[in-house]
Structure 1
Amino acid sequence: MNSTAPSDALSIDQIRSAPKAVLHEHLDGGVRPQTLIEIADEIGHTLPATEAGALGDWFFEAADSGTLERYLETFAHTIAVSQKADHCFRIASEAAQDLAADGVVYAELRYAPEQQLLGGLSLEEVVEATLAGFEEGQRLAEKAGNKITARTILCGMRHADRTLEIARLAVAYRDKGVVGFDIAGGEIGNPAERHVEAFDYLRRESMPFTIHAGESCGPESIWGAVAVCGADRIGHGVQLIKDIDLTGDEAKLSDLAHYIRDRRIALEVAPSSNLQTEGAESIETHPIKALYDLGFRVTVNNDNRLMSRTSTSREFHLLSETFGWGWAEVRRCTENAVKASFLHHPERRRLLEEVVRPAYAALEASESDAE
């Protein structure tokens, strides 16, 4: 289904000009290095480097160690600077602005408020400061000519015991900017099934949720997230490829893989992050192409822009360079993300019909004219 040859890859600037949607974006994984330095200096927190470029390099290199556990250790610094209301506000505002400047028109940013209580804030104060920051970020982004809608997914930590409490918090702030729930943290040894009480509660409250699964664990983790817990989407999900036999002329899918594809359960794939945590061995062998070609609802995400030194435009550029993806593939993944978003249906429809589809129709027409 490639629409261009790899040598004709879309540039980052070209992709930046197109509207994009992001479903898997950790707020504490996208803090600006300079912001980290300024807040750390204010609160007396020691960082590995005190110059923005060097600090950005440290985060990327530390996260590039090859394991999810080492990757997660880098968050100690970004969490440390997220303990005061004004800092939560600033980080959220800047995240919305940075994504908008990259051409992202819709983003669901997730974070774990239970990790932001060391400065004396309550869970509610963390959420309210962050939501206010997103509002400010949206306003400033639109003022700069880059309109974005930013919404929040609240995370419970899968190795802790507060998931039901955080699920209740998400429901309490429904339609105030919070659109869903997730569990985050180390996947190994912390199956989603341990938190089924929280997921049962969310289903009773008709609140959508996604679950990190199939990142560092195999299909059994995805099965637990979908079959036991009832996830609406899967965070990463790349290990699902182990349940698909690609050796013959026609792919053979397991019952689980069929179910996920048939039910249009979206996969929140983050290619660069997957390489860092060994969810994939190389970009050339990344499962995203096979999953896309087989018709899974694939979406393209950043996961953590700071740790992966990336942006949504860069992720699509990487896929365009590697697999020859053109506007057709970027458009389909973007539409997949909007359709799988936790927005209400009228909002999804408006975003598709008024923003996404007209823009890609113009881009594809311009490409045809150039030929």
Structure 2
Amino acid sequence: MLKNKTIVVGVSGGIAAFKTAALVSKLTQAGANIYVVMTEAATKFVTPLTFQALSRNPVYTDTFTEPDATKIAHIDIADQADLVLIAPASANTIAKLAAGIADNMLTTLVLATKAPVALAPAMNVNMYEHPSVQENMEKLRSYHYQLIEPGAGYLACGWVGKGRMAEPEQLLELVDTLLEEATDLRGKQVIVTAGPTREPLDPVRFFSNYSSGKMGYALAQEARRRGAHVTLITGPTALEAPVGVETVAVQTAEEMYNAVNKRYQQADIVIKAAAVADYQPVDVFAHKQKKNADEWSVALERTKDILRFLGEHKKEQILVGFAAESEQLHTYAKSKLERKNLDLIVANNITTEGAGFDVDTNVVTVFTRDGQETAYPQASKQEVAKQILNELEAYMKRREA
């Protein structure tokens, strides 16, 4: 995918710039044509000569330095770019781009390019969580810029938290994804829900289920690979968020409902893979309940039916649901497809070996609103995600025909 592609790597001021050197080396080895553009602050951390040696191309640091009098450098490189990746993206550079400020070579080039733009933020955890930074990043997402969430851990400043730039290997994978050939999902706004929800009873107890989130995470990753802008709304899991995917963590069914509803009108596709609790305790205790009797009866009430709500309020969105059954798979899946106004439903029998919760494989049958039905053999959840999205893209083509 990267051979002969022209990638502009923007470097803004931050200690994470040393990781960008490794990324540029990997991109060059993969056959890409790399142009590095540095802010003045970035040159305080890594010298332009380092990137020149690794990219085998001149490094640009000044808008007014024009090595070729017949060309305007920032426009020429902006036009050549197949992709612009800013790594690290500092709070300052993010703010400038959100405000449309073009006061250096990098910000001027970004405003001029028609290529996809991706940013890998890196900064102190308190800076990252500041409302103005979060607002600026949300604004850039609305411009269809791709933001790669930073990791959490020990930061160079001594704080521990979110703010570490994604690793070069992760960024290389993202670049490869962004340069994939166009599919029907490219540019689509896709919401994927994943994992279980937890319905609290008291500070130490909750009701939940065995969902690991693996299927939803695989779907989010595959949709991102196909060029979609993906928001993953996830209950508690032990999984690492896919690179290039906006991740929203929730706990309860109510929180998942609010997170999905907030984004639903802007979505093109919703894939509802989460195993949302159907019931929640009527009474939630503020303090741990002591063992006072041999039996304890807990009254439960229904949670909001998120999938039904989405189906009832669907406009042009494509809605994909899941049916985890232990009997009468076809009957229950088709009924759910109709009752909840879905476009596709992915059904599996959780009693089948290799198809239950918290395993790495799945066995699914996909039903579509226009009467298609396809059963797939056992496969890894990554492969099943491809099968599901192939079915989705085929359905989109038939719907538009």
Q: What is the TM-score normalised by the length of structure 1?
A: 0.33
Larger Rg over CA atoms:
2
> Quick one: higher RCO (CA 8 Å, sep 6+), 1 or 2?
1
Larger % of strand: which? 2
Q: What is the TM-score normalised by the length of structure 2?
A: 0.31
Larger % of helix: which? 1
